[in-house]
Structure 1
Amino acid sequence: MHPTQFSSGDVIADRRADYARMLADNGEHEAAVELMEQALELAPDWPAGLVRLADYAEKAGAKEKAVVALRKVLERDVEDLFGARLKLALLGAEAVPDGPPSAYVEALFDDYADRFDKALVERLDYTVPAKLAALVAEHHPDRFGTTVDLGCGTGLFGAEIRERTYRLEGFDLSVNMLAKAGEKHLYDLLGKADLSLEAAGSGLFGDGLHCARADLVSAADVLMYLGDLGNAFSLAATLARPGGLFAFSVEDAGEDDGFVLAPSLRYAHSEDHVRVRLAQTGFEPILLRRTTIRMDGGKPVSGILFLALRRP
Structure 2
Amino acid sequence: MIEKSSTAHFASSGDPTLDRRYAWAEAAFKEGDAQAAVEILDQTLAQAYHFTAAWHLYGLAQEALGHKEDAATAWRQCLDLDPNDHFGARLDLARIGAMSAEEATSENFSGTLFDTYAERFDSHLTQALQYNAPALLKAALARICDNARKPFRFDAVLDLGCGTGLMGEAIRDETGFLAGCDLSPRMIERARAKMRADGDSLYDKLAVAGLTAFLTSRPDACADLVIAADVFVYVGELAPAFAQSARVLKHGGLFAFTVQSHEGEGVVVGADRRFAHAESWLRQRLEEAKLSPLMIEPASTRQDRGEAVPGLLVVAQRL
Q: TM-score, normalization: structure 1?
A: 0.90
Matched, 1:244 2:253: yes
**Higher deviation after alignment, 6-15 or 136-145:** 136-145
Cα offset for 1:305? Answer: 0.5
Question: Are residues 281 and 102 of structure 1, via their aligned partners in 2, closer, same or farther at CA, if it must alter by over 3 Å?
Answer: same
**Higher deviation after alignment, 1-10 or 64-73:** 1-10
Match of 2:230 in 1: 221
CA distance in 1, matches of 2:289, 2:206: 25
Match of 1:72 in 2: 77
After superposition, the CA RMSD in angstroms is 2.0
Alignment of 1:138-149 (within 5 A): 138-140=143-145, 141-149=151-159
Aligned to 2:299, the other structure's residue is in SS state strand
Matched, 1:195 2:177: no
Question: Are residues 152 and 305 of structure 1, via their aligned partners in 2, closer, same or farther at CA, if it must alter by over 3 Å?
Answer: same
Aligned to 2:206, the other structure's residue is in SS state strand
CA distance in 1, matches of 2:73, 2:315: 44
Cα offset for 1:261? Answer: 1.8
Match of 2:50 in 1: 45
Question: Which whole-Å deviations, capped at 9, do the CAs of 1:77-131 have from their partners, x for residues lacking one?
Answer: 1222222233123233333343413222222222222222222111111111111
Amino acid at match of 1:307: V
Q: Which runs of 5+ in 2 are unaligned?
A: 1-5, 146-150, 196-201
Question: Which whole-Å deviations, capped at 9, do the CAs of 1:161-218 have from their partners, x for residues lacking one?
Answer: 011111111011222211111111310100133235xxxxx13354xx4221111110
**Higher deviation after alignment, 30-39 or 154-163:** 30-39
The answer to whether the Cα contact below 8 Å between 1:147 and 1:169 also exists between their aligned partners in 2 is: yes
Cα offset for 1:150? Answer: 0.9
Count of matched residue positions in the alignment of Structure 1 and Structure 2:
303
Match of 1:154 in 2: 164
Cα offset for 1:53? Answer: 1.3
Question: Are residues 63 and 276 of structure 1, via their aligned partners in 2, closer, same or farther at CA, if it must alter by over 3 Å?
Answer: closer
Alignment of 1:96-115 (within 5 A): 96-115=101-120
The answer to whether the Cα contact below 8 Å between 2:131 and 2:302 also exists between their aligned partners in 1 is: yes
Amino acid at match of 2:114: F
Question: Are residues 204 and 291 of structure 1, via their aligned partners in 2, closer, same or farther at CA, if it must alter by over 3 Å?
Answer: closer
Aligned to 2:220, the other structure's residue is in SS state coil
Question: Are residues 21 and 241 of structure 1, via their aligned partners in 2, closer, same or farther at CA, if it must alter by over 3 Å?
Answer: same
Question: Are residues 97 and 277 of structure 1, via their aligned partners in 2, closer, same or farther at CA, if it must alter by over 3 Å?
Answer: closer
The answer to whether the Cα contact below 8 Å between 2:141 and 2:152 also exists between their aligned partners in 1 is: no
Matched, 1:289 2:294: no
**Aligned sequence identity (%):** 40
Which of 292, 309, 312 matches 2:317? Answer: 309
Aligned to 2:310, the other structure's residue is in SS state strand
CA distance in 1, matches of 2:55, 2:97: 18
Amino acid at match of 2:223: A
CA distance in 2, matches of 1:15, 1:275: 50
Match of 2:272 in 1: 264
Match of 2:198 in 1: none
Match of 1:199 in 2: none
Matched, 1:235 2:251: no
CA distance in 1, matches of 2:8, 2:62: 19
Question: Are residues 20 and 73 of structure 1, via their aligned partners in 2, closer, same or farther at CA, if it must alter by over 3 Å?
Answer: same
Matched, 1:204 2:215: yes
Aligned to 2:282, the other structure's residue is in SS state helix
Aligned to 1:80, the other structure's residue is in SS state coil
The answer to whether the Cα contact below 8 Å between 1:127 and 1:293 also exists between their aligned partners in 2 is: yes
CA distance in 2, matches of 1:289, 1:164: 23
**Higher deviation after alignment, 110-119 or 26-35:** 110-119
Match of 1:180 in 2: 190
Cα offset for 1:3? Answer: 6.4
Amino acid at match of 1:45: H
Aligned to 1:272, the other structure's residue is in SS state helix
Cα offset for 1:279? Answer: 1.6
CA distance in 1, matches of 2:248, 2:100: 32
Aligned to 1:304, the other structure's residue is in SS state strand
Which of 168, 173, 182 matches 1:163? Answer: 173
CA distance in 1, matches of 2:8, 2:315: 36
Amino acid at match of 2:36: A
The answer to whether the Cα contact below 8 Å between 2:10 and 2:52 also exists between their aligned partners in 1 is: no
Q: Which runs of 5+ in 1 are unaligned?
A: 197-201
CA distance in 1, matches of 2:161, 2:287: 22
Which of 122, 140, 156 matches 1:135? Answer: 140
Q: TM-score, normalization: structure 2?
A: 0.88
